[in-house]
């Protein structure tokens, strides 16, 4: 299929080399340059650099290349701290100084608005990116695939350019506890000669080591994902975990015997300790089970939620809708400054969690219902309940079109859109502008330093 594509661009061909000036960063952290007015994406290249590029893939309207030589390096280029940075692929921006990462992430959001909306660059009310004081060791959860390399047990991520498992002994963006627990579990698997899952042959047992740590309580949960119902040498394994990892407060087994890239299967059961660990965000506390979603960077989550609160401009009289509410975290963050919060989610278990969380914290002005926002909002409106503020934190794919149509009909005074994908944010904003809203504020938030990902809090108000 690519052969046709390769022949359909008269300007460039695979293997061709030429000088290229890098102008910006793309959404995946790659450098962007232009050759005869056509865009060329180059991983690892930075804005302001002059490089010799070699074309690796050609498409009708763009090309991808690799750096052959850096003729003029950017002043903010730094040596990555991680020794396996380039082979792992989990981070994309370690070679860029952190202050510059924050500037470029802001520009990635600006580019999305330039591309998908009619707002001019100088008219977009966008703040500086909210960053971290210490942009390392921030992730509270690791999920490393397990494999064998001769007699060695390895665990890590698949390389971004191949299906080769890269062993990670010390990930610099992970909380140190997750590194310690993962390495000790690898050692126990090797010492006990336990069977490891072979993806190609679909044989063996242990597939994935998942470790989550609670920053505030220091509780640690270990989840072992196996392809078999039974945990190999279970009693020996448990006694070694207890002996070598007394800090583990929750040990859980999850069974996934499917041929899939998904980490978890449907069956989960406790091995020892509690079924959950407790984490705090500000004054709120949450019980986290093995498969419960929780933000991966708790320190930045506080800043993200505070930015939502700031942009909501609450006076205590507002009725708020927390759409796609999950276990209710954002709505509960706002509840004490609002008159009432109503949340909805299509996942019933999330709604049960949200109700439990609200009850536990004595939040009496929150109501949670399972269902789609586009069904519940009109129902509530008929009952005479109209929200002043709608907060939405959708998946990467953005908001459902029928949800956006419903928001346009309900006409809240303000809508706060928390996004993890600038492209879908800008597309959805373009649609809402056509329905009578305007952008009041956009604030990028760096939830994942050293990577190309950027979140944004965007507030729209009725004209």
Residue 4 binned pLDDT confidence (cut-offs 50, 70, 90): very low
Nearest-angstrom CA–CA distance, 108 and 453: 9
Burial of 152 (0-12, 13-18, 19+ CB in 10 A): exposed
Q: What is the CA radius of gyration of the chain?
A: 24
pLDDT tens profile 185-195: 999 999 999 99
**Token pair listed for 21:** 């000036």
Cα(450)–Cα(219) distance, integer angstroms: 26
Model pLDDT, residue 160: 77
Q: Rounded mean pLDDT of 97-105?
A: 98
pLDDT in the model for residue 343: 97
Distance CA(84)–CA(12), nearest Å, equals: 32
pLDDT interval class at 2 (50, 70, 90) = very low
Mean of the pLDDT values across residues 2-7? 44
Catalytic residue among 91, 171, 420, 458: 420
For residue 49 the two structure tokens come to 């650099």
Q: Are 312 and 336 in contact (CB under 8 A)?
A: no
Do residues 353 and 292 lie in contact, with contact meaning Cβ atoms separated by under 8 Å? yes
DSSP SS3 for 295: coil
**Residue 130 per-residue DSSP state:** B
Express each pLDDT in 232-258 by its tens digit: 999 999 999 999 999 999 999 999 999
Instruction: Summarize pLDDT for 310-320 with one digit per residue, the tens.
Output: 999 999 999 99
Minimum mean pLDDT among 285-294, 338-347, 376-385, 454-463: which range?
285-294
Q: How far apart, in whole angstroms, are the C-alpha atoms of residue 49 and residue 65?
A: 15
To the nearest whole number, what is the mean pLDDT of the chain?
95
Q: What are phi and psi of 432, to 5 degrees?
A: -70, -35
pLDDT digits (tens, 9 = 90+) for 135-185: 999 999 999 999 999 889 999 999 877 789 999 999 999 999 999 999 999
Q: Kindly report, residue by residue over 393-439, the tens digit of the pLDDT.
A: 999 999 999 999 999 999 999 999 999 999 999 999 999 999 999 99
Closest by CA to 220, choosing from 269, 190, 175, is 175
Q: Is 420 a catalytic residue?
A: yes
| Residue 246 CB burial class (10 angstroms; 0-12, 13-18, ≥19) | exposed
Query: At residue 6, does pLDDT exceed 70?
Result: no
The residue with greater pLDDT, 8 or 452, is 452
- pLDDT category of residue 3 using cuts at 50, 70 and 90: very low
Give CA angle at 183 (195, 135), nearest 5°: 135
Token code pair at residue 455: 């979140």
- Would you state the pLDDT for residue 8? 66
Q: 189: how many CB neighbours lie within 10 A of its CB? A: 24
Q: Is the pLDDT reported for residue 46 higher than 70?
A: yes
Q: Report the predicted TM-score, pTM, of the whole model to 2 decimal places.
A: 0.93
End-to-end CA distance of the chain: 48
Task: Name 425's Cβ contacts closer than 8 Å, sequence gap at least 6.
Answer: 109, 112, 398, 417, 419, 456, 458
Phi, psi of 274 (to 5 degrees): -80, 160
Helix extents (H) in 337-415: 348-360, 373-382, 401-410
Is residue 1's pLDDT more than 80?
A: no
Burial of 435-461, coded b for 16+ CB within 10 Å and e otherwise, reads: eebebebbbbbbbbbbbbbbbbbbbbe
Q: Is there a contact between 392 and 414 (Cβ–Cβ < 8 Å)?
A: no
Proportion of the chain above pLDDT 90, given as a percent: 91
Q: In what order do the strands lie in the sheet with 206-213?
A: 165-167, 152-158, 141-149, 206-213, 220-226, 248-255, 267-273
11 has pLDDT over 90: no
């Amino acid at each position: 299929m690519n052969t046709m594509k390769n022949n359909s661009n008269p300007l460039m061909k695979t293997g061709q080399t030429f000088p290229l000036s890098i102008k910006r960063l793309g959404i995946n952290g790659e450098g962007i340059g232009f050759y005869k007015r056509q865009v060329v994406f180059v991983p690892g290249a930075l804005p302001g650099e002059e490089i010799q590029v070699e074309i690796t893939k050609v498409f009708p309207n763009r090309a991808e290349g690799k750096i052959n030589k850096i003729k003029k390096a950017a002043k903010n280029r730094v040596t990555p701290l991680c020794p396996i940075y380039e082979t792992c692929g989990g981070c994309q921006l370690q070679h860029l100084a952190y202050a510059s990462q924050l500037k470029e992430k802001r520009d990635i959001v600006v580019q999305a608005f330039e591309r998908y909306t009619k707002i001019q660059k100088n008219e977009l009310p966008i703040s500086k990116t909210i960053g971290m004081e210490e942009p390392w060791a921030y992730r509270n959860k690791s999920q490393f695939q397990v494999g064998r390399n001769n007699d060695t047990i390895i665990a890590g991520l698949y390389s971004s350019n191949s299906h080769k498992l890269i062993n990670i002994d010390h990930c610099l963006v992970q909380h140190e506890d997750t590194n310690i627990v993962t390495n000790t579990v690898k050692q126990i698997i090797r010492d006990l000669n336990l069977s490891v899952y072979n993806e190609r042959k679909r044989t063996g047992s242990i597939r994935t080591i998942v470790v989550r740590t609670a920053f505030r309580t220091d509780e640690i949960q270990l989840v072992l994902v196996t392809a078999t119902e039974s945990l190999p040498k279970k009693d020996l394994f448990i006694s070694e975990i207890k002996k070598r990892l007394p800090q583990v407060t929750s040990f859980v087994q999850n069974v996934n015997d499917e041929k899939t890239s998904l980490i978890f299967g449907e069956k989960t059961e406790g091995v020892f300790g509690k079924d959950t660990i407790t984490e705090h965000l500000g004054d709120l506390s949450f019980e986290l089970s093995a498969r419960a979603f929780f933000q991966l960077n708790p320190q930045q989550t506080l800043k993200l939620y505070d930015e939502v609160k700031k942009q909501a401009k609450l006076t205590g009289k507002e009725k708020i809708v927390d759409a796609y509410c999950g276990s209710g975290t954002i709505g509960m963050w706002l509840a004490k400054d609002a008159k009432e919060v109503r949340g909805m989610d299509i996942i019933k278990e999330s709604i049960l969690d949200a109700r439990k969380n609200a009850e536990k914290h004595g939040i009496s002005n929150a109501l949670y219902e399972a269902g789609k926002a586009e069904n519940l909002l009109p129902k509530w409106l008929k009952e005479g309940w109209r929200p002043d503020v709608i907060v939405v934190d959708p998946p990467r794919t953005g908001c459902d079109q029928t949800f956006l149509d419903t928001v346009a009909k309900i006409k809240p005074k303000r809508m706060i859109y928390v996004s993890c994908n600038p492209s879908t944010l800008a597309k959805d904003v373009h649609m809402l502008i056509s329905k009578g809203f305007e952008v009041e504020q956009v604030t990028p938030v760096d939830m994942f330093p050293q990577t190309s990902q950027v979140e944004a809090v965007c507030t729209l108000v009725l004209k």
